[in-house]
Amino acid sequence: MTPKLFLQAVENLVSSFEKNELAYLSVTQKNEHAIRDRIAFLLHRELQALNGYHVCREWRRTDLAILNNGSPALIVEAKAIYSFDAIHKKKSHPYDVYLENDAAKSFKLLAQYPESKECQVLLFLTATHIVGHVSEKYRHIFKYYKDLKKSETASVSDIQEQISQIIDYECISKGVWSAGHVFENEVKVLYWVFKPN
């Protein structure tokens, strides 16, 4: 039940933000916490009527967890990148290694809860993509302005292809949110939900 609810929250995420809010949050800073926190609240609204279920952020150093009577029913680890991270992968920001480390940490944590045999671990990756030319006049506003310039010509399919080549885990859901327009740019946020082995 809980993985399905998480995937539904992911699909409905954009409609829970005000118009252009996700675009603004995504270009001015990494959106990992903004997205994680909104998904947590959407899940809380769904589960609050169910006795014993609670949605927790930063539970035992995990990004998001759904607990059933204090034991994990779902653990989600999230990472946010920009399109330039996917197109021009750097050794200084090995997001694939970060995801692997998060998966290992979560499985190690799960070993402490033998009653949680049905608990699943999911990895949630988002990539902010600014469509088109990023204007010089906004260089002080756009986080990572110089790096964003490097991926101006990338397409959504370029980014998706690059991620599929880098991440080996089973992808159980992926999509593209139209985050809105801000500072003369259209902003899209790509997402993937992976199920590690």
Give tens-digit pLDDT for 9-19: 999 999 999 99
pLDDT digits (tens, 9 = 90+) for 37-47: 999 999 999 99
Determine the Cα angle at 86 with ends 77 and 187, to 5°. Answer: 85
Q: Taking Cα atoms as reference points, which of 192, 190, 187 lies closest to residue 28?
A: 187
Do 73 and 67 contact (CB within 8 A), yes or no?
yes
Q: How far apart are the first and last CA of the chain?
A: 19
Query: Tens digits of per-residue pLDDT, 46-80?
Result: 998 888 999 999 999 999 999 999 999 999 999 99
Cα-based distances in Å from 166 to 55, 86, 113, 190, 193 = 30, 9, 31, 15, 14
Q: Which residues contact 5 (CB under 8 A, 6 or more apart)?
A: 43, 46, 47, 66
Distant-in-sequence contacts of 99-106, Cβ < 8 A, 24+ apart: 99/123, 99/125, 99/167, 99/169, 99/194, 99/196, 100/196, 102/63, 102/77, 103/77, 103/169, 103/196, 105/61, 105/62, 105/77, 106/62, 106/75, 106/77
- DSSP letter at 72? E
Distance CA 15, CA 175 (A): 15
Phi-psi region of 120 (alpha: psi -120 to 50; beta: other; left: phi over 0): beta
Question: Taking residues 124-136, what's their average pLDDT?
Answer: 93
Instruction: Return the amino acid letter for 104.
Output: A
Quote the pTM value. 0.94
Q: What is the mean pLDDT of the chain?
A: 93
Asked if pLDDT for residue 92 goes beyond 80, the answer is no
What pLDDT is recorded for position 1?
61
